Amino acid sequence: MADYSSEILIDYFFADANVQRLVTLTAAWQPLRICYPKEVNVSRFLAWLLDPSEGHGLGDLAIQSLLTRAWWNSDDADVPLTIRRFLSPSNVQTEGFSSALITTEVDLNGRSLDVLVVDASRRRYIAIENKFGAQQSRAQLKDYRKHLEKLLPDFLGVHIFLDSREAVPEDAAWIPVGYDWLAEFLREAEKREATAQHVQQALAQFRNVIEDETEDSMGKSSFGRLVTEVAGGHPEVLELMTPWARHGSKGARAHMLTELMSEANTLDGKSMLRLFQLYCRRPSVWDHCIRQAQFAPFVSALRQRFDDVLVDPKRVRTGFSLLRWDSLIDLEQFPNWNYYPAGVTVRQTGETFQVTTFVQLNHVRAEKRDALIEAAEVLRRTNGVRRQMSDEQSFVVLRRLRDLNKTRAINETVSQFVELQARLEPIR
């Protein structure tokens, strides 16, 4: 359709049933979708979740879960042996945190640490710096740690860098934890029979937003399928929208509208005005489609080798799996299952890509679980991952490659799928 005029391309776009479904599906009604949370609000929610005395009824489960994930992710962190022993799951799962004081926006020499958990009676603290899409400031983490050591001398301190984009902390004393931990914990908390219905609803709303930011976890999504179809079917129209996505802040849209109105004296001009009006009704949706159009070569390369490719687009990355691996899912126990059992996620940062190969054990059939874990451990050893898996792990990274150019990222993605299929075929 590259030779068609803008008017015809836009007409085809408006006429596409998937475009119409996408507009209808994304009409906002949940408060957190309307008032999209910023970094400070996420930190306040996190503090509420971690506070055993709050009304969620989860006690100290969130703190225990976070510290257990920190233990798993601490291999590359510069962490003393005393802290590693404190973080060990056998210790964390038998510790009590009911006396902990949780506070947010802690002033440390003019800068604000997002969340601080202090247990004065046991002389220990947990510092959490939360990044909801933002970048690290220069020497920020090191400054926080130094000021905390002065503020709380002789305390055992755990420093956790919670980042939606899973960046490497600039200060090696901080342990990186991705938003996949938060999304996974919220989902498990929702399923607890003891969790009150109104709390389940609150957790579900926040999880739905958080899962757009998760680096790794991959699941079914009607929204994701529609985004993939629209992104693959209308690259030219999405290219027309791209300048609005790059430069179209809310404050600038009125100026863009008046400019397009002044140019609406031709058929193409009138079509562009209608397209802009549609863009303004769902800017985050179309921005999502624009980003996913960049992953079209990955989809094409995978579909040349596999005829059942599944795509799960999210705000910060796109995940790929195969429909045939659904046979590993326990459909009787989890008829409304969400997580794919294996696959690859690809994240783009600037001109480079990160490729992560994984298995996901949340909904795997009991009789297949041991074999899948064994296959995962073999792949981890092959890829140089030192630490053994634990029964508590749900999302298991098999391999992670960073700073790849697009060509190599595509080749690695296909190669990892071939390897996964070879390992999983005897199991499924």
Based on the fold, state whether residues 285 and 243 are members of the same structural domain: yes
Nearest-angstrom CA–CA distance, 407 and 131: 29
For residues 150-181, b (16+ Cβ closer than 10 Å) or e, as one string? eebeeebbbbbbbbbbbbebebebbbbbbbbb
Q: Do the strands 175-178 and 309-313 form a parallel or antiparallel pair, or are they unpaired?
A: unpaired
pLDDT for position 229: 83
Strand ranges (DSSP E) for 142-242?
156-163, 175-178
**Among the three residues 177, 210, 243, which one is the final residue of a domain in this structure?**
210
Q: Is 152 left (phi over 0), alpha (psi -120 to 50) or beta?
A: beta
Asked whether residue 370 is domain-assigned, the answer is yes
DSSP state of 174: S
CB atoms within 10 A of CB 239: 12
Instruction: Evaluate whether 102 touches 115 at the Cβ level (below 8 Å).
Output: yes
Q: What is the pLDDT of residue 34?
A: 40
Burial of residue 230, with CB atoms counted within 10 A of its CB: 0-12 exposed, 13-18 middle, 19 or more buried: buried
CA–CA distance, 394 with 250 (Å, rounded to integer) = 39
pTM (two decimals): 0.57
**What are the DSSP E strand ranges found in 8-93?**
none
**E strand or H helix that includes residue 305:** helix 296-305
Could you tell me if 91 and 171 lie in one domain? yes
Q: Are 346 and 357 in contact (CB under 8 A)?
A: no
Tell me the C-alpha distance between 245 and 278, whole Å.
13
Check whether residue 276 and residue 301 sit in a common domain. no
- pLDDT for 33: 47
User: Do 279 and 180 sit in the same domain of this protein?
Assistant: no
**Predicted local distance difference test score (pLDDT) of residue 198:** 84
**What is the domain range of residue 135?**
39-210
User: Is residue 125 domain-resident?
Assistant: yes
Coil/strand/helix, residue 312: strand
- Based on the fold, state whether residues 194 and 112 are members of the same structural domain: yes
Inside any domain, residue 379:
yes
Q: Are residues 314 and 391 in the same domain?
A: yes
CA distance linking residue 338 with residue 217, whole number of Å: 10
Give the tokens for residue 292: 């996913």
Residue 122 placed within a domain: yes
- Amino acid identity, position 30: Q
- DSSP structure string for 225-262: HHHHHHHHH-HHHHHHHHHHHHH--HHHHHHHHHHHHH
For residues 413 and 331, state if they share a domain. yes
Residue of 297, 222, 208 whose CA lies nearest to 30: 208
* Structural domain includes residue 227: no
3-state DSSP call for residue 59? coil
In a domain, 58, yes or no: yes
List, in sequence order, every residue forming a beta bridge with 319; answer none if it has no partner.
312, 345
Beta strand 124-131 pairing with 175-178: unpaired
Q: Domain for residue 1, yes or no?
A: no
Q: Order of strands, edge to edge, in the sheet holding 318-322?
A: 309-313, 318-322, 342-349, 352-360, 395-404
Query: Is the same domain home to 407 and 264?
Result: no
Give the tokens for residue 313.
Answer: 């687009």
Number of domains in the chain: 3
In the three-class reduction of DSSP (H, G, I as helix; E, B as strand; rest coil), residue 319 is classed as strand
Residues 303 and 239 placed together within one structural domain of the fold: no
3-state secondary structure at position 329: strand
What CA–CA distance (Å, rounded) separates 97 from 118? 10
Side chain identity at 153, as an amino acid letter? Answer: P
- Say if 34 falls within a structural domain: no
Q: What gap in Å lies between CA 40 and CA 68, rounded to an integer?
A: 24
Q: How far apart are CA 230 and CA 234, in angstroms?
A: 6
pLDDT one digit per residue (tens) for the chain, 428 residues: 557 888 999 999 999 998 988 888 776 554 544 444 554 577 888 888 898 888 888 888 899 999 999 998 888 889 999 999 999 888 888 888 888 889 888 888 888 899 999 998 889 999 999 887 666 777 889 999 999 999 999 999 999 999 877 778 989 999 999 888 888 888 888 888 888 888 888 888 788 777 654 444 445 567 777 887 888 889 899 999 988 887 766 667 788 888 889 998 999 999 999 999 998 888 888 888 888 888 888 988 998 899 888 888 776 678 899 989 988 988 888 776 767 889 999 988 878 999 999 998 878 888 998 898 888 888 888 888 777 666 556 788 899 998 999 999 999 999 999 999 999 999 87
Specify whether 206 is located in the same domain as 278.
no
d(C-alpha 67, C-alpha 160), whole Å: 9
What kind and span of H or E run contains 396? strand 395-404
Q: Which residues contact 335 (CB under 8 A, 6 or more apart)?
A: none
Task: Judge if 272 and 398 occupy the same domain.
Answer: no
- Strand 156-163 and strand 309-313: the pairing is unpaired
In angstroms, the CA 303 to CA 289 distance is 19
362 lies in the same domain as 305: yes
- DSSP classification of residue 385: -
